[in-house]
Amino acid sequence: MNKKAMVITYGCQMNVNDSAKIKAQLTKQGYEITENLKDSDLVFINTCTVREGASKKVYGKLGELKTLKKTKKDMIVGVTGCLAQEKKDEILKRAPHVNLVLGNQNIYQIPEYLSKLENDEIKHVVLVDNEDELPPRLDADFDSNFSGCVSITYGCDNFCTYCIVPYVRGRERSVPVKDIITDINNLLKKGYKEIILLGQNVNSYGKGLTNGENFAKLLKEISKIEGKFRLRFMSPHPKDFTDDVIESIIADERISRNIHLPLQAGSTSVLKKMNRGYTKEDYLKLVEKLRSKIKNIALTTDIIVGFPYETEEDFKDTLDVVEKARYENAYMFMYSKRDETPAATMEKQVSEAEKKDRLQRLIEVQTRITKEESNKYLNKEIEILVEGLSPRNKEMYIGRTDSNKVVIFKGDETLIGKFATVKINEANTWTLYGELI
């Protein structure tokens, strides 16, 4: 019988990328990837530890697997990701049925230790080393047949006071330009039409390299690649968004005009406590510069409400930035304590009730702005990358604009994974509706 494996992913796009690499390795080991937990002979959970809720989900899933493993005694359970890196001892204590605990840097060792587990040579493996080294380049099996990711940096040097990432993913390391170009060319040869460059802070790219490489130069090298494709990157840090990066974006229309520019907070006082490295005024100047220089730019962002010491006036500063920046979308969260971060022990923690109230008010403002920004697409002819059938209406197809707006339209399956032009005739808050041109 064919062995079946399931990979469950929590957290950021970096984890999605790592899961794609895990799937490729498991496939080479003879496993068929499945979405059915009960059919699985092996389950890997790729974990997140950015927010407390993510950790609870992981332990809940491990409890479910403990029950399942009572009837499937040979099932192999693996845990990787940031929670595995941070809480390796706790995981084994709370879930002794776990066989593999691997750090982010160690997923390339899956085949080696999986064979030992399958042959009963070992029962448990814990590997969370090498967090300050570049991992080997690995092939990846992405869920999408047209959108693939390439990691250009690993780790982070920013040490935002709310964030655990530098402690679990290590200090920032940059992948050599030639390796990135090779990865992109390999994806394009496979037929991918969208390439996403990944890093905790992509525009500080170049650390650890010796030939003066930086993010602007990397974009210029990628622009030398011929062919029709779309290039995205996430996430840049506002303090490192230099003029040469802007010029590199302007120079190549294939580089997406959707810029994800994390704000986190609009108050200079709160930004200082977050250790973000910029002020409210710095951020708004950057927004103004981006809008003046890059035609058809679409900004998105991340925002945390209820950070320690945040007052009502601080929160109003955040609302002010949102009104002025005019984001097309925003990922909005209440502050959540993470152990071993400076913010977790700060005084004047904001109450849950106040955080919920501020989040709701922020959502209301951003939803209005998103709707207003969507209306700008009406009656325009726009190029989209077609993703497939609409999940809600099987007679319609779904695609995304360069600005990452979802478009629903009538089409056929021959368009999937290709670029098409549509005219927008209806704009809802989150979705555009159009017709093929």
Q: Give the residue numbers of the binding site for [4Fe-4S] cluster.
A: 12, 48, 82, 156, 160, 163
Torsion (CA) 375, 280, 316, 342 in degrees, nearest 10: 120
Rg of the chain (C-alpha set)? 22
What 3-state DSSP class applies to 244? helix
CA distance readout (Å), 344 to 57, 58, 336, 340, 348: 21, 21, 8, 7, 11
How many angstroms separate the CA atoms of 166 and 151, rounded?
A: 16
CA distance readout (Å), 327 to 62, 124, 205: 38, 47, 25
Contacts of 89 (CB under 8 A, 6+ apart): none
Among residues 339, 341, 391, the alpha carbon closest in space to that of 163 is found at 341
Taking a C-beta distance cutoff of 8 angstroms, is the pair 162, 343 a contact? yes
How many angstroms separate the CA atoms of 19 and 23, rounded?
A: 6
Decide the pairing of beta strands 153-154 and 173-174: antiparallel
Helices (H) and strands (E) in the chain, counts: 13, 19
Read off the tokens for 194. 């969208």
Contacts of 96 (CB under 8 A, 6+ apart): none
Decide the pairing of beta strands 397-401 and 381-389: antiparallel
Residue 147, strand partner residues: 194
Cite the annotated binding site by residue number.
12, 48, 82, 156, 160, 163
Q: State the alpha helices, DSSP H only, in 47-133.
A: 52-71, 82-86, 88-94, 110-118
| CB atoms closer than 10 angstroms to residue 138 | 17
Q: Backbone phi, then psi, for 239, in 5-degree steps?
A: -70, -15
CA count, 13 A, side-chain hemisphere, 395: 0
Read off the tokens for 156. 């982070």
